[in-house]
Amino acid sequence: MKFDTLLIHNGHECDKTTGALGVPVFQTSTFVQTDVNAGQEFDYSRSGNPTRKALEDTIALLENGAAGYAFGSGMGAIASVLGIFDTGSHIIVSEDVYGGTYRILNTFYKRWGLEHTACDTSNIDTIKKAIKSNTKAIFLETPSNPLLKITDLNTALNFAREHDLISIVDNTFMTPLLQRPIELGADIVVHSGTKFLGGHSDVLSGLAVARTEKIGKLIYAVQNGFGAIPGPWDVFLVLRGIKTLKTRLETSQKSAAVIAAWLCGHKNVDSVYYPGLDSHPGRDTHFKQAAGAGAVLSFKVKTKEAAAAFFAKISLAAPAVSLGGVETIASYPVRMSHAGVPVDERERLGITDTLIRLSIGLEDAGDLINDFDCALNQS
Ligand SMILES: *Cc1c(COP(=O)(O)O)cnc(C)c1O
């Protein structure tokens, strides 16, 4: 079946017991046991819940993995996946990973003895230099946030396989509609389901998909042990969001391409970062591994004051944290997603106080351009 069909027909489109054309919200903590000596599929909602299972099966199907796991947030998923490694292990991580991932690696996981080396994973030589005798995994994000840097998944995942490393890809920006890392050789895919999968800025969610049952069991042990699980209502919202993923993301992506091209020609814009632009570094690599450029783009204005004026003036786009919703959101990485990254490190990565990130929603592209034009002509 084609991907569009799988979004709607994923095996859970009809409740077998009632015929309900929608996954019931099983708002229960526990399950009556018909025989206390025999195991049964569901016994306690931290360990498993039928509503959650529908989402877990769905994301596993869409990412083409063996098993899926749902969490209360993207960070819940990432923290739980990192929990499968032993003290004394080392992992290689993209230097511009999501700020929250950077933060937990540098605080909690460092304290608990999981070492890491952050490096430019778009360059295979840098990855090769980062490997150590205790390296167990590589954590990639492509396109990265907020500069949409591209890592060649084939090269990096081959390297991981040759060195027996568990490869993890944060696929939040692309979703399985545009990029399926497991099909390219990744062992684990993680998501913030808060973004495009949920899609309506109304729910926090996280997901992890394992290529094999064996890796799945490791993740399940942390999910069940730490309990960073979502409630059934939140799961229901993500399941509902996934049904319209293709329609939403393709519309937003189309507008993002128009807006990126328009920004390139604006006199008050210094540079534009969008994998769909011919000028974008790694564009060809990106289109070898992904079916589209996505709906997130970043750009730099000329001064910090111009950035402040932009945020003060925009009226359609919401100045806010997050992305992937039906509403267009403008973020200020230095104060929001990357506020936790030390200033000199930020500057080195190019995450400056003139950088603005846009997540394009479902408004008319022309209306958004008018809004941005007014805001850019402020100073
Ligand atoms: C938002 C985000 C996360 C974290 O997800 P939460 O749902 O906010 O916990 C992780 N990775 C990426 C790429 C994100 O955009």
Rounded Cα–Cα distance for residues 35 and 51 (Å): 23
Does residue 16 have a pLDDT over 80?
yes
Token readout for 165 is 């490393």
Burial readout 278-298 (b: 16 or more C-beta within 10 A, e: otherwise): eebebbebbeebbebbbbbbb
Rounded Cα–Cα distance for residues 80 and 220 (Å): 9
The answer to whether residue 52 is catalytic is no
Residue 118's pLDDT is 95
Rounded Cα–Cα distance for residues 74 and 348 (Å): 26
Does residue 177 have a pLDDT over 80?
yes
- The one catalytic residue in 52, 69, 98, 180 is 98
Rounded Cα–Cα distance for residues 209 and 175 (Å): 12
Write out pLDDT tens, residues 146-176: 999 999 999 999 999 999 999 999 999 999 9
Say what percent of the chain tops pLDDT 70.
Answer: 100
Rounded Cα–Cα distance for residues 263 and 123 (Å): 28
Write out pLDDT tens, residues 192-203: 999 999 999 999
Region for 26 from its dihedrals, namely left if φ exceeds 0, alpha if ψ lies in -120 to 50, beta otherwise? beta
Instruction: Please give the distance, rounded to the nearest whole angstrom, from the Cα atom of residue 146 to the centre of ligand 1.
Output: 12
Q: How many CB atoms lie within 10 A of CB 91?
A: 24
Give residue 378's pLDDT band: very low, low, confident or very high (50, 70, 90): confident
Rounded Cα–Cα distance for residues 352 and 184 (Å): 33
CATH classification code of 12-243: 3.40.640.10
In the chain, domain spans:
12-243, 245-376
Better pLDDT: 346 or 293: 293
- Tell me the CA distances in angstroms from 35 to 29, 38, 43, 45, 272, one per residue in order: 18, 5, 11, 18, 62
Write out pLDDT tens, residues 217-265: 999 999 999 999 999 999 999 999 999 999 999 999 999 999 999 999 9
Rounded Cα–Cα distance for residues 356 and 378 (Å): 15
Token readout for 42 is 């569901």
Give residue 128's pLDDT band: very low, low, confident or very high (50, 70, 90): very high
Rounded Cα–Cα distance for residues 108 and 79 (Å): 10
Rounded Cα–Cα distance for residues 303 and 70 (Å): 41
Which of 171, 172, 201, 322, when mutated, tests ligand 1's pocket best, judged by the most ligand atoms within 8 Å of its CB? 172
Quote the pTM value: 0.97
Query: Which atom of ligand 1 is least distant from the CA of 193?
Result: 7
- The one catalytic residue in 96, 170, 234, 371 is 170
Comparing C-alpha atoms, which of 76, 78, 73 is closest to residue 102? 78
Instruction: Please give the distance, rounded to the nearest whole angstrom, from the Cα atom of residue 246 to the centre of ligand 1.
Output: 20
Residue 339's pLDDT is 85
Token readout for 374 is 């007014």
Task: Quickly list DSSP for 181-227.
Answer: GGGGT-SEEEEETTTTTT-SSS---EEEEESSHHHHHHHHHHHHHH-
Token readout for 292 is 């589209």
Comparing C-alpha atoms, which of 172, 216, 214 is closest to residue 190? 172
The answer to whether residue 202 is catalytic is no
Atom 6 (ligand 1) nearest CA: 74
Instruction: Please give the distance, rounded to the nearest whole angstrom, from the Cα atom of residue 357 to the centre of ligand 1.
Output: 15
Atom 8 (ligand 1) nearest CA: 74
Alpha carbon 152 to its chain centroid, in Å, reads: 17
Protein residues whose CB sits closer than 6 Å to any atom of ligand 1: 73-75, 98, 100, 141, 145, 170, 172-173, 192, 194-195, 204, 206
Write out pLDDT tens, residues 80-111: 999 999 999 999 999 988 989 999 999 999 99
The answer to whether residue 170 is catalytic is yes
N-term to C-term CA, the chain: 52
Query: Which atom of ligand 1 is least distant from the CA of 172?
Result: 13
Token readout for 238 is 């993500």
Phi, then psi, of 315 in degrees rounded to 5: -125, -30
- Per the listing, tokens 């399926």 go with 180
Residue 283's pLDDT is 98
The mean per-residue pLDDT over the stretch 52-61 comes to 98
Which of 192, 229, 323, when mutated, tests ligand 1's pocket best, judged by the most ligand atoms within 8 Å of its CB? 192
Instruction: Please give the distance, rounded to the nearest whole angstrom, from the Cα atom of residue 25 to the centre of ligand 1.
Output: 25
Instruction: Please give the distance, rounded to the nearest whole angstrom, from the Cα atom of residue 303 to the centre of ligand 1.
Output: 28
Give residue 379's pLDDT band: very low, low, confident or very high (50, 70, 90): low
Token readout for 31 is 């399950």
Residue 337's pLDDT is 85
Query: Is residue 185 classed exposed, middle or buried when 0-12, 13-18 and 19+ CB atoms within 10 A define those classes?
Result: middle
Locate the DSSP E strands across the chain: 67-71, 90-94, 115-119, 135-141, 166-170, 188-192, 206-210, 269-273, 296-301, 318-319, 329-331, 355-359
CATH classification code of 245-376: 3.90.1150.10
Atom 1 (ligand 1) nearest CA: 192
Question: Tell me, what amino acid is at 223?
Answer: Q
Instruction: Please give the distance, rounded to the nearest whole angstrom, from the Cα atom of residue 286 to the centre of ligand 1.
Output: 21
The mean per-residue pLDDT over the stretch 180-189 comes to 98
Query: Which atom of ligand 1 is least distant from the CA of 173?
Result: 13
Which of 71, 75, 148, when mutated, tests ligand 1's pocket best, judged by the most ligand atoms within 8 Å of its CB? 75
Give residue 129's pLDDT band: very low, low, confident or very high (50, 70, 90): very high
Angle (CA) 53 59 60, round 5°: 85
